[in-house]
Amino acid sequence: MALRTASLDKSGLSEEVLYWLRNPPHQPRAITPVERVGICMYLARGDASEANYADNRAAFLELHPDDPIPSYEAVKNLVAELTDVSAIRTEMCDDTCVAFTGPFANCLECPRCKKPRYDPVEFERGRQIPRRTFLTFPLGPQLQAMWASPENAQLMGHRRRETDRILVELAAMDGDVSIVDHIYYGNGYTSWAATSMMTPQEKAQKDIQPDDMVVLFSIDGAQLYASKSSDCWFYIWKRYVLPGAVIGGPNKPKNIDSFLFPGLYHVTALQRDSFPIWNAAENRLILSNVYLYLVTADSPAMAYLNGLVGHNGKHGCRIYCPQKSRHKPGLPNYYPALGRYFPDDSGSSDYSIALRMSAKARYDIALAAMRAARTKRDYVRERLQTGIAKSSIFSGLPERHFLGVPGAFVLDLMHLISLNLTDLIVSLLRGTLSCDSTDDKATWDFAIFAAKTPWKKHGKLVASCGRYLPGSFDRIPRDSAEKISSGYKAWEFLLYVYGLLPGLLRAVQHEKYYQHFCLLVVGVCILLQHHQRLDLLPRAHQSIVQYLVEYEELYYCRRADRLHFVRPSLHTLGHVVSEVLRIGPGSLHSQWTLENFIGNITREIKQHVTPYANVSERAFRRCQVNALKAIIPAFADPDAGLPQGAVDLGDGYALLRARDHTEHGVTAAEEAAIFSFLREHFNFADNTWIPVVCRWARLALPTGQVARSGWKEVAQEARGKQPHRSRMVKLAGDRFTEVQYFFAFQRPGGIRGNDLVGLAMVMPFSAPDRDLLAYSNKALLVCFHQGDQAREVVFAKGISSVVAMVPLPMTALEAQAAAQDPATRARYVSRFFVVEKPGLDTVRLAGRVEDPSSNADGFQFD
């Protein structure tokens, strides 16, 4: 109720901040030269300490004593003045139980743990000194800053431009588009959004107007230290990454709504009346509304936000689909099995999987029933029947500016695919799922790594694959037997399960389990992409449905004592494709962005005695610095561009050093490949010409990866080093090659320096083995190395990505045949399976790209 009467005057902002929020300046105030120097020093190292600034200032003043470089505190105040970005400090329980907001605003002690709100000694003296506080960073001033320079305001207009383009495209194609690569394609957005081309009458029928802003809310907890309990919660607003609040630990919040209240109160106050923004790109004042589109969190945190009972409840679906979970006898938990178990499941029938959609009307009816409960007994009964534990605090937002409950509370691909499902797969392989007394692990023929010896052998095999995975794959999976229980990261799980296991399990896993696992791999690899091809979505859904149905047949077997094998993550997986159609690709609103922010901000902690206060101050500094760079782009980090000596080929491609000092001759095989290429593409027929090349070692790709070459990598390997191989690349049409070197060719008739064509000398692999492709349900691409003399020339711009080519382990029968026949052995040894970086274009959106100037492999840059 308090949110529905929210007012900016009561949101905790100072009079000065409120004034500028209502009267945004048309340009930033002038900065003196010495102030500019101070700000540059303040920004020079994002994680630098106050002492570091003081040392630099002292050194500068020693050289220029007459220049009054401002102190650290003065620069902080100057940045706050320039940005008008402030923080709301709110009192909280010393044990992180509740924040003293809303119904707890007047409490003198925590209603949970009964600890006093204020310092008891000071309270006796008549002074109210809170024992703990936390910071909320209001969204309004941060959004205004994003529009305050012409450059950034142009970027902020992206939503309006994309909405215009997409709605025109959808109308022209009658909704039949081929690629979905933005949340703006989802029907959850298009039905609310107005375009610039609409008439005033048409716009009035839409909730989201052209000058409005659409944001996403994302929250998660993190341990600041691995060695001790140090739970800390963060939330951000995703329109760029705008910090929302930091909730210090070391305990989890007992009432998360009370901590969200200050930030949501401020947003609701903005939504009640359009707030003014100076659009510097168009030199006009706009009245904008903030539209909260989606809310994201992992499963435990989502139960706090949406008010549902959570994944272990009878209605455990996080998007509130009608399927009921099944109760396991003797336990309080429910599990979302499709098939009923025998001999008794209280008469429940089987469920089928369709393209499920959430139903707001059903939720509203259930919520009304829950609210009508007048006794605790009635409440417990309605909670079980409806799956609703409480009203969501987000229900207090104005309906026209929020997608609503439960529609706004979406799935999170990061936790689902990278952590929840991978944990299930590993648990099955190792046989670590709990085994009831009526079951027998000796019958678990799927648990091929239950014993220590095969598990350790597999772990060493995983570790040995690391050298074949490019450095651009980020975290390379380590020995799973040694590390998977002590620090395996989400990205390692992703590469291990969906990248390596399709090749490593084939030789050791029974056919029925292996082929079933491959169904999951096919569906997941499609869903991880940012650019979702609609023609592939039916294939992804079919693979997932088949996987879910067969999973219950293979593992659950309609046994009550195995009901816990059917984890909630399996049910959630069945919703992913339909959610793509409703709100766009899941990769665009997953928790990767928040996880990246948490990792960055926690690395800046300097005061480990007071880590929660320090990380809050670092987040507050991030808010102000981001705003400052948006208002005055001259302070923004310059575009690094290409390193010295690089040759820009256009379209995101560039030749990178090392490079030959002089031109060199080529081998007979390479000469033949060059002539064949020139005849095909340039009608080149001068047989007297002798080809010479100036080799380049690396190529920057639009994906953010850097392809390397055998010219340098093979030399490294010959010296006993093991660089992560980055010379295997993918071409159009699922063709894979090994790059020997890159070189440039002057297009015939071109002016020297112009019409320069980037080429690559490659050793092509064979086409993927059709039998193994069919055997693996198209999850495993296996290619044969065609020998050291195979050569081909391809356009450098024809390279789409860097991949891994990992030796394919032999099955027992293959090993036996190889031991008896050298020719068979040579053929099997030349087999490599392809590992592509999962969600490559999505990772690029998160900023995970290779530095083209990096010399990580120790090459000599000539």
If asked whether residues 573 and 517 sit together in one domain, one would say yes
Quick check: 256 and 304 in contact, CB under 8 A? yes
Q: Inform me whether the pLDDT recorded for 357 exceeds 70.
A: no
If asked whether residues 15 and 123 sit together in one domain, one would say yes
pLDDT tens digit sequence for 138-159: 999 999 999 999 999 999 999 9
Tell me what pLDDT residue 660 has: 94
Considering only CA atoms, give the Rg of the chain.
30
pLDDT tens digit sequence for 561-612: 999 999 999 999 999 998 888 888 888 888 888 888 888 888 888 777 888 9
pLDDT tens digit sequence for 205-245: 888 999 999 999 999 998 888 767 778 999 999 877 899 99
Q: Inform me whether the pLDDT recorded for 858 exceeds 50.
A: no
The number of angstroms, rounded, from the C-alpha of 613 to the middle of its chain's C-alpha atoms is: 27
Q: Inform me whether the pLDDT recorded for 308 exceeds 60.
A: yes
If asked whether residues 493 and 541 sit together in one domain, one would say yes
Tell me what pLDDT residue 851 has: 63
**In this structure, which amino acid lies at residue 289?**
N
Tell me whether residue 187 is in a domain.
Answer: yes
If asked whether residues 660 and 605 sit together in one domain, one would say no
Long-range pairs, 89-94, Cβ under 8 A, ≥24: 89/133, 89/134, 89/135, 90/12, 90/133, 90/134, 90/135, 90/136, 90/259, 90/262, 91/117, 91/130, 91/132, 91/133, 92/130, 92/132, 92/133, 92/134, 92/247, 92/259, 93/117, 93/132, 94/131, 94/132
Tell me what pLDDT residue 567 has: 96
Q: Inform me whether the pLDDT recorded for 839 exceeds 80.
A: no
Strand 213-223 versus strand 290-296 pairing type = parallel
The Cα 324–Cα 334 span in angstroms is 9
Please report, for the chain, how many H helices and E strands are present, in that order.
32, 26
What token pair was written down for 625? 């610095």
If asked whether residues 763 and 692 sit together in one domain, one would say yes
- Local confidence band at 845 (pLDDT 50, 70, 90 cut-offs): very low
If asked whether residues 119 and 101 sit together in one domain, one would say yes
pLDDT tens digit sequence for 675-691: 999 989 888 777 778 88
Tell me whether residue 666 is in a domain.
Answer: yes
Tell me what pLDDT residue 860 has: 40
- Local confidence band at 846 (pLDDT 50, 70, 90 cut-offs): very low
**In 3-state terms, the chain is what percent helix, strand and coil (to 5)?**
45, 15, 40
Of 177-186, 316-325, 426-435, the poorest mean pLDDT is in 177-186
Q: Which residues pair with 785 in a beta bridge?
A: 765
Quick check: 20 and 34 in contact, CB under 8 A? no
Tell me what pLDDT residue 610 has: 87
Tell me what pLDDT residue 220 has: 92
DSSP sequence for 135-187: EE--HHHHHHHHTSSHHHHHHHTHHHHHHHHHHHHHHHTTT--SEE-SGGGSH
If asked whether residues 209 and 275 sit together in one domain, one would say yes
pLDDT tens digit sequence for 254-283: 999 999 999 999 999 999 878 899 999 999
The Cα 510–Cα 308 span in angstroms is 40
List Cβ neighbours of 65 (8 Å cut-off, separation of 6 or more).
none
If asked whether residues 546 and 606 sit together in one domain, one would say no
Q: Tell me which range, 170-184, 475-489, 767-781, is most confidently predicted by mean pLDDT.
A: 767-781
The Cα 349–Cα 461 span in angstroms is 44
Quick check: 224 and 615 in contact, CB under 8 A? yes
77-88 mean pLDDT = 93
Strand 653-659 versus strand 664-665 pairing type = unpaired
Which of 496, 498, 471 has its CA nearest to residue 482?
Answer: 496
List Cβ neighbours of 126 (8 Å cut-off, separation of 6 or more).
none
Total domains, the chain: 3
**In this structure, which amino acid lies at residue 16?**
E
What is the domain extent for residue 661? 647-845
If asked whether residues 757 and 662 sit together in one domain, one would say yes
Tell me whether residue 409 is in a domain.
Answer: no
Residues in the chain: 862
Say how many C-beta atoms besides its own lie within 10 A of residue 831's C-beta.
22
- The pLDDT > 90 percentage for the chain reads 61
Quick check: 280 and 147 in contact, CB under 8 A? yes
Tell me what pLDDT residue 213 has: 94
If asked whether residues 596 and 585 sit together in one domain, one would say no
Which of 223, 192, 225 has its CA nearest to residue 210?
Answer: 192
Of 44-48, 118-122, 555-559, 828-832, the poorest mean pLDDT is in 44-48
Q: Inform me whether the pLDDT recorded for 861 exceeds 60.
A: no
Tell me whether residue 68 is in a domain.
Answer: no
- Give the residue with greater pLDDT, 698 vs 321: 698
Q: Inform me whether the pLDDT recorded for 662 exceeds 50.
A: yes
Strand 88-91 versus strand 241-247 pairing type = unpaired
Tell me what pLDDT residue 222 has: 87
**In this structure, which amino acid lies at residue 633?**
P
pLDDT tens digit sequence for 67-78: 888 999 999 999
If asked whether residues 204 and 236 sit together in one domain, one would say yes
Tell me what pLDDT residue 172 has: 85
- What burial class does residue 486 get, using C-beta atoms within 10 Å of its C-beta: 0-12 exposed, 13-18 middle, 19+ buried? exposed
Tell me whether residue 777 is in a domain.
Answer: yes
- Local confidence band at 346 (pLDDT 50, 70, 90 cut-offs): low
If asked whether residues 134 and 98 sit together in one domain, one would say yes
The Cα 516–Cα 551 span in angstroms is 8
- The pLDDT > 70 percentage for the chain reads 95
Tell me whether residue 823 is in a domain.
Answer: yes
- Local confidence band at 803 (pLDDT 50, 70, 90 cut-offs): very high
pLDDT tens digit sequence for 163-192: 999 888 888 887 778 888 888 888 888 888
DSSP sequence for 703-753: TS-EE--HHHHHHHHHTT-------EEEETTTEEEEEEEEEEEEPTTPPTT
Calculate the alpha carbon distances from 303 to 332, 391, 392 in Å: 17, 11, 9
Tell me whether residue 622 is in a domain.
Answer: yes
What token pair was written down for 826? 């040579």
- What burial class does residue 447 get, using C-beta atoms within 10 Å of its C-beta: 0-12 exposed, 13-18 middle, 19+ buried? middle
Tell me whether residue 103 is in a domain.
Answer: yes
Of 433-447, 783-797, 848-862, the poorest mean pLDDT is in 848-862
Q: State the chain's mean pLDDT as an integer.
A: 89
| Three-state secondary structure readout of 527-573 | HCCCCEECCCHHHHHHHHHHHHHHHHHHHHCCEHHHHHHCCHHHHHH
